[in-house]
Amino acid sequence: MVGWAHQRISIEEEEKKTLLEIKSSLVEFSKSYNGVENLLPSWVVNDGSSYCDWERINCNSTPSSVGDHYKYVTDLSLGNMFSMKESDYSLRIIWPLNISLFIHFKELRRLDLSWNYIGDTFLVTTGLEKLSELKNLETLNLSGNFIETNNIFLSLSQLASLKVLDLSFTRGGSPPYGKG
């Protein structure tokens, strides 16, 4: 029983820490883009709330044998964090997203990163193949970003549980012949 409690706390602490790293990255980029620093105001640790109560996050829970509930992130909706307008698209500013942060959400089913100035930078640093570690990911929305879609189909093909993929309004064409 102690092992379960320790594992639950470790997983919840890891998810919370990762969410705060994502927020920090968003805030840092936002300062350089539009000066907004108050992104995700509910994402704070000092108010005693669970990260499952934070905006843009949905969690699920599993009961343990001792009556506790282990909570985990299942839905992360980070679409249009910067209130991007069509006229901004020409600025070509790129949010340097560390895609490997998302692998800490082992039960993640839905990830929305649409309209966030994400470019191909993550392909060079970590690659989308890191997301293949998310065995439960069913929906991935990367629409409205500066992604060359021709470069990502091989990585995305490793997402065995993926049912919905939105690449609308990205740069690029279709899957290479024989893929997709």
* Reported confidence tier of residue 9, pLDDT bands at 50, 70, 90: low
Count of helices and strands (H, E) across the chain: 3, 5
Which tokens hold the place of 168? Answer: 């609308």
Query: Which residues lie closer than 8 Å to 33 by C-beta, 6 or more apart?
Result: 82, 93, 117
pLDDT of residue 7: 55
- Region 103-114: what's the mean pLDDT? 95
- Would you identify the CATH topology of the domain 2-166? 3.80.10
Closest CA to 169 of 150, 149, 139: 149
pLDDT of residue 102: 93
CA 117 centroid distance within chain: 14
Model confidence over 114-161: pLDDT tens digits? 988 787 665 545 667 788 889 999 999 998 887 776 667 777 888 889
CB atoms within 10 A of CB 4: 13
- Cβ(148)–Cβ(176) below 8 Å: no
Record the pTM.
0.82
pLDDT of residue 178: 35
pLDDT of residue 172: 59
What percent of the chain lies above the pLDDT cut of 90? 34
pLDDT of residue 84: 65
* Reported confidence tier of residue 86, pLDDT bands at 50, 70, 90: low
- Region 68-77: what's the mean pLDDT? 87
Q: What angle do CA 88, 92, 93 make, to 5 degrees?
A: 90
Give the N- to C-terminal CA distance of the chain in Å, as an integer.
45
Mean pLDDT of the chain: 78
* Reported confidence tier of residue 65, pLDDT bands at 50, 70, 90: low
Residue 21 confidence (pLDDT) above 60: yes
How many Å apart are CA 175 and CA 180, to the nearest integer? 6
Model confidence over 26-48: pLDDT tens digits? 888 888 776 677 889 999 987 77
pLDDT of residue 122: 59
